[in-house]
Structure 1
Amino acid sequence: MKIAIWDTYVQRKDGKTMHFDILVPRDLKDEQTIFDFGKNYLQSKQFSTGELTAGECRFCHIENATQEMIESIKKNGYAIIEMENCN
């Protein structure tokens, strides 16, 4: 399965910047849906963050999904890779 990687940076209220990738099926092009996936992920955090908009989330590239990514996308519509300051 080919997936689109959306590189995302969101400011936390404590001043740190979160960096994570939103992974979606390659053919999903609706930015609002992708932003909503990111907002849903942010709501799962126990700390406050700033807004997620087009300025914080941009298409990066296409790659092959791992089995774990495929399972998350089938279950949730998306997957997340946490990079920096996500916990």
Structure 2
Amino acid sequence: MTETLAATLTGFQRDLLVIIAGMTNTSGQEIKEEIEKEYSGEINHGRLYPNLDTLVNRELVEKGKTDRRTNSYDLTEEGYEALENHREWEDQYFS
């Protein structure tokens, strides 16, 4: 099931998972800064946060609170599994 789930994500959502996997207890702003490096341009809040919410709703990312204004994001076990399954699929074509 996780393999199918990863395949239903957009490339942008998979990129968010990769970034979150490499960080711990990270804020939306930190994720935004990292994804903007990869995408070479500004990512607006209207694109970032709905995609983060989708990942939370699909239980691939856990959303917590750092303080009253700041949320934190971490990959769930399902999120790691989805990335691993996707990577194994990609490896079939890069081997």
* Common topology (TM > 0.5): no
| Structure with larger RCO (C-alpha < 8 A, sep 6+) | 1
Which one has a larger percent strand, Structure 1 or Structure 2? 1
Larger radius of gyration: 2
TM superposition score normalised by structure 1 = 0.31
Which one has a larger percent helix, Structure 1 or Structure 2? 2
